[in-house]
Amino acid sequence: MTQTAPAMPRLNEPAPAFEAPTTHGVKKLEDYRGKWLVLFSHPADFTPVCTTEFIAFAKRHADFQAINCELLGLSIDSNYSHIAWERNIKEKFGVEIGFPIIADLSMQVARAYGMIQPGASDTSAVRATFIIDPEGVLRAMVYYPMSNGRSIDEFVRLVKAMQTSDEHKVATPEAWQPGDKVIVPPPGTAAAAEARVDEGYECTDWYFCKKAL
């Protein structure tokens, strides 16, 4: 029997709109207009790998907020399950979950974002992470297998990198951190390439130049 491929959102296009119940009341994508948003899914409440991820997200919540970014979790569980799990994490691990979690029993949000992967699970959302910019545009998405947890530090780093690229019209190299040099866009003409080496950048070659911000 042929399985239908999940619908997938596309980078640099408007993120799928949603309105859904959460542990902080009903939330809509429009509520986050003007802020960056990290929307992330997890397979199920009361599971060990997901618990480690939620603890890590909670510990970095203030760091996300400091860069104008909010967090929004999701799983195909009820609000009652979410609340019980949050209380368990606070009791057993001493960590309070300060961001909302979507209760997506209908799977509408999960399906709109391609979080349901038939090869991994038909009833649970995989570990998917979506970064949406202040204009509601989907800028990055990362999928992880059920068995392995995400690195939350990477999502803090990635949001900072994209904000830097937007502000300064530059690219960032592998493992870039704030304060590191950035990559200048390569010249688009032969004349610009000839002039590039004299423009004051740190150039390895005409197409590969860095600068400090």
Please tell me whether residue 209 adopts helix, strand or coil conformation: strand
Beta-sheet strand order (sheet of 69-75): 101-103, 69-75, 36-41, 127-132, 138-144
Task: Find how far residue 32's CA is from the centre of its chain.
Answer: 14
109 contact partners, CB below 8 Å, separation of at least 6 = 16, 18, 20, 74, 102, 115
Q: Are 147 and 53 in contact (CB under 8 A)?
A: no
Decide: 115 and 121 in contact? Cβ < 8 Å. no
The distance from CA 75 to its chain's CA centroid, rounded to whole angstroms, is 15
Can you tell me the distance from the alpha carbon of 11 to that of 113, in angstroms, rounded to the nearest whole number?
A: 11
Q: Is 209 a catalytic residue?
A: no
Q: Can you tell me the distance from the alpha carbon of 76 to that of 79, in angstroms, rounded to the nearest whole number?
A: 10
**With contact defined as beta carbons under 8 Å apart, do 70 and 32 qualify?**
yes
Q: Which residues are catalytic?
A: 50
